[in-house]
Amino acid sequence: MKPHLHWPLAAALGAATVAGFAPLELFPLPLFTLAGLFALWRRAGSARSAALLGLAWGLGFFLVGVSWVYVSLHDVGGMAAPLAAVATLLFCAVLALFPALVGYGYGRLRTRQPLPDALLLTGLWTLGEWLRGWIFTGFPWLALGYSQTPPSPLAGFAPILGVYGVGAIVALMAALAAPGLDRAAAQPPHRLTLPLMLALIVGGAALRLVPWSHPVGAPLDVALLQGNVPQSIKWNPEQLPLSLERYRRLAAAHPAQLTVLPETAIPLFLDQIPLDYLTALAGKGELLLGTALRQAGGGYVNGAVALTPGGGLQTYAKRHLVPFGEYVPPGFAWFFGLVRIPLSDFSAGPPRQPPLTIGGQRVAPNICYEDLFGEEILRALPAATLLINLSNTAWFGDSLTQPQHLQISRLRALETARPMLRATNTGMTAAIAPDGRVTAVLPAFRTDALVVSVQGHAGITPYMRHGNKAAVGLALLACVPAWRVRRRQGRATPATRTA
């Protein structure tokens, strides 16, 4: 293939990779598309060319995978279409810098020896994804490991290495396969390629059978309410009765031990909601409600409130806020003149907050975007026996957000071996077992309630002990063989010249 065709091919491979994630979940696909990118990197003539190939792959991947950013800015936020398109392109271009950086690093450090190069690609890719999930508060959406939810056998590694570790295994398999796609390769694939890939697949399948946690307490009947209130009318004061009546009706029709309403389900501060209305929502059970909470010293937080029959009140305040959605990054106040976002100046909650005691279980709430960050979920563990995510994805319309976010929650369940419940405004409201399987789900954009019986779990997974440190540490170690080969090659060069 002519070199000038490599860039569009890289972009096409990136775009195709999105099909490996929800809703299609063609989990083997990212292995092949990433192997294609790695094969292109092997043929790149310089580190700069490899970086540009990584940038092209990233643009294809993110422009398709997070196309919902445009929906949020234009369709829901009211930003002018040209500005929303430019903003989406710039956002995706920034995200594409991470695979570009990986390509540049590989171009600088490659050894042209199959196994050290495969390990180098694995290490650099994993470090690039981890960096994307950390720098500037992080955006780990569509990290490679999310594509490997069950039935993928590689899901078995999630309780040990987390999402970045699962992604590293996919990257290793792709790197081992890449020489077979490169017809111009001087060396054949390493002889360990097939045995190692088979060992990883069989090992992952075996690990899926390991019971990392055990049931505790009595099962809890839970009603997860999906109000399906359009974002365009949710914050209109004239439409407030619609929200109040819709959730009251859903709660009355689906009584349960615990009733859960999604993020900011009632567009009021907690102190503005009548107590008798909250009591009616709880019925004879308990209530977990996503709502904005005023702080005693001023300001407000995006929170969750648990109301018990005895009148007790427990609260949780969202810790990891969404930049440009829940707070204003320094120097970007002008942005909010272009888009309509109510309550866009939240304060962050404390880093560590104890689980809430609800229905005999220890519940760790997380709000919307927070469940992207596995290590932050761990702060409530191992005490928590149940995870509950409260989300309002109405901001993203009818897009890939809903199935992608559900898949993210499945990884959190796998990493912690805890059940995860999701109560969302427009979708996807669901119940997830500790092994990452979705046991019940409501279709998106339906006004309904999902009533499930959930069993709390206790226990400690290896990932709960070390978080992302193991995956990052292994990624660094994977780069060592290539570094050592490069050192030997550097020392050998003067002698070769003398000869």
User: What is the C-alpha separation between 101 and 105, in angstroms, rounded?
Assistant: 6
- pLDDT tens column, 292-328: 999 888 889 999 999 988 657 999 999 988 887 777 6
When computed from its CA atoms, the radius of gyration of the chain, rounded to whole angstroms, is 24
Within this chain, do residues 33 and 161 fall inside the same structural domain, yes or no? Answer: yes
- Give me the torsion for CA of 378, 291, 72, 242, rounded to 10°: 140
pLDDT of residue 160: 98
pLDDT of residue 494: 52
Within this chain, do residues 186 and 298 fall inside the same structural domain, yes or no? Answer: no
CA triple 156-160-164, angle to 5 deg:
90
Within this chain, do residues 397 and 485 fall inside the same structural domain, yes or no? Answer: no
- How many domains does the chain contain in total? 2
Within this chain, do residues 187 and 241 fall inside the same structural domain, yes or no? Answer: no
Report whether 325 contacts 341 (CB < 8 A): yes
User: What is the C-alpha separation between 434 and 439, in angstroms, rounded?
Assistant: 10
- Nearest to 422, CA basis, from 170, 355, 412: 412
Catalytic member of 92, 129, 234, 263: 263
Give me the DSSP letters along 141-209.
Answer: TT-GGGGG-TTSGGGGGHHHHHHHHHHHHHHHHHHHHHHHH-TT-SSPPPTTHHHHHHHHHHHHHHHTT
2 given a catalytic annotation: no
pLDDT of residue 490: 75
284 given a catalytic annotation: no
Within this chain, do residues 333 and 444 fall inside the same structural domain, yes or no? Answer: yes
Within this chain, do residues 99 and 192 fall inside the same structural domain, yes or no? Answer: yes
Within this chain, do residues 432 and 486 fall inside the same structural domain, yes or no? Answer: no
Domain that holds residue 398: 214-464
326 given a catalytic annotation: no
Within this chain, do residues 135 and 280 fall inside the same structural domain, yes or no? Answer: no
Within this chain, do residues 224 and 206 fall inside the same structural domain, yes or no? Answer: no
303-319 as b/e, with b when 16 or more CB fall inside 10 Å? bbbbbbeeeeebbbbbb
Stretches where the chain sits below pLDDT 50 are: 495-499
Query: What is the distance of C-alpha 253 from the center of its chain?
Result: 33
Within this chain, do residues 258 and 386 fall inside the same structural domain, yes or no? Answer: yes
Query: What is the distance of C-alpha 153 from the center of its chain?
Result: 19
pLDDT of residue 185: 56
Q: CB atoms < 10 A from the CB of 476, how many?
A: 12
pLDDT of residue 252: 97
Sign of CA dihedral 432, 433, 435, 441: negative
User: What is the C-alpha separation between 195 and 417, in angstroms, rounded?
Assistant: 29
Q: How far is CA 268 from CA 287, 294, 296, 302, in A?
A: 17, 11, 17, 11
Within this chain, do residues 109 and 189 fall inside the same structural domain, yes or no? Answer: yes
> Which distant-in-sequence residues (6+ apart) come within 8 Å of 78 by Cβ?
339, 340
Looking at residue 377, which CATH number applies to its domain?
Answer: 3.60.110.10
H-type alpha helices, 443-479: 462-466, 469-478
Find tokens 């760790």 and name the residue.
Answer: 364
User: What is the C-alpha separation between 419 and 85, in angstroms, rounded?
Assistant: 38
- pLDDT tens column, 381-436: 999 999 999 999 888 888 999 999 999 999 999 999 999 999 999 989 999 999 99
pLDDT of residue 493: 58
Within this chain, do residues 238 and 198 fall inside the same structural domain, yes or no? Answer: no
Catalytic member of 92, 286, 318, 370: 318
User: What is the C-alpha separation between 197 and 177, in angstroms, rounded?
Assistant: 9
Q: For the whole model, what pTM was predicted?
A: 0.94
Catalytic member of 92, 234, 368, 370: 368
